[in-house]
Structure 1
């Protein structure tokens, strides 16, 4: 039953309503005008798209690890890239490169984004841009994005960036500068395919590997209290 009644994020209801109404119009209109055989396939396509839209905007509850120092994945998806890069210039965090973990979300993933750890939001900066495939490295530079920096109670600073993708046309961010976030707390979403980059504090190594599947608010990306070297993995 839990699978059938997953919570739906409020951002999705207008889209679900539009898809459902169009499907209803197509199906009932086909019967009324005796065009059912001609319009029926289109009506079923509308029904399938309505179900997909409901699935896209699902917002399931998650169990978040709460130990201090853990950096939690902000997005469902796959670890597409682990490299070193400077945080977005608009955050004012300097030019020094940090370890960056990029999580790519396809159109079937949950797209609600969660805070990677506890802290105070120091900066929220929107930058318009292109809509390249979010799996490309240059998407982090060229695409539309919403960048956030967050400071922990012990003064460490982390950045995470919502990046629009090829299909995405709307980044939603519900938090603002000065807000306090808890690890796993919802702070925004990106509609219809995208990616989230996390810039770790210097000296912190990722605990995930390329190609690994992540769950927002549950998968541990890194541990700021650990001296463990970066992990590697292999397909088995």
Structure 2
């Protein structure tokens, strides 16, 4: 397991904060052993929490020409027909994956193809499980056209804790299934919009792994 590049700055700032805090406690409360040990323990837990959030575990990826692979770790919170109003402007099958702060937050391309549309939207920071987060929160929208001509839309959505969305793609790029397309920091959600009638291999509340779990099969 390695640490993702998006974590380098955050981890460095966390170490600096912990060092300054512990130095202050040692100087200001030198005689209060119990308080110093409490701060030591909390500092260690903070460091481990930040470190695990940016972990990048080694994985054996699942791939397939007609397979849609889960773009993120987390839990399936939505499987429903809905109106996608930004790009398709018609009904699509929506699958949403909620990522808690303890999940790996790397986002991976669910299919291979060409990026036909990309847009970043500034917005609010509603809780990621709120249905309005899909249209009101800070988010990106990506549409990749599969080699068979089927377009798949996927959307990074910031949550109540997530305050930065990172993406590595742009319109016109050719992307490869399971390669990283972005990262969301500290709690978030990814929505995927598929053509109606697509065979979905997931169930509500199922725990999934990005790059491993098969989300659906394209016709």
TM (norm. structure 2) is 0.93
Larger fraction in strand: 2
- Deviation track 1:172-228 (CA, whole Å, cap 9, x = no partner) reads 111111111111110101110010000012321211000100000000000114xxx
Is 2:179 the counterpart of 1:185? yes
SS in 1 for 2:199: coil
Q: What is the total number of aligned residue pairs between the two structures?
A: 217
From 41, 45, 61, the counterpart of 1:44: 41
User: d(CA) in 1 for partners of 2:163 and 2:155?
Assistant: 15
Structure 1: state its 5+ residue gaps.
1-5, 226-236
Kept in 2, the 8 Å contact 1:162–1:197? The answer is yes
Matches within 5 A, 1:1-236: 6-33=1-28, 34=30, 37=33, 38-89=35-86, 92-93=87-88, 95-225=89-219
Indicate if the aligned counterparts of 1:30 and 1:40 stay in contact, CA closer than 8 A.
no
Distance 2:182 2:151 in 1: 19
Equivalent pair of 1:26/1:43 in contact (CA under 8 Å): no
CA distance in 2, matches of 1:20, 1:135: 31
SS of structure 2 residue aligned to 1:13: helix
Partners of 1:35 and 1:195 in 2: how far apart? Answer: 46
**8 Å contact 1:85–1:97 — kept in the other structure?**
yes
Inter-partner Cα distance in structure 2 for 1:61 and 1:178: 29
Counterpart contact for 2:81–2:196, Cα < 8 Å: no
RMSD: 1.5
Deviations 1:92-133 (A, max 9, x none): 32x211100000000100001000011111111011111111
> What is the Cα deviation at residue 47 of structure 1?
2.0
Unaligned runs of 5+ in 2: none
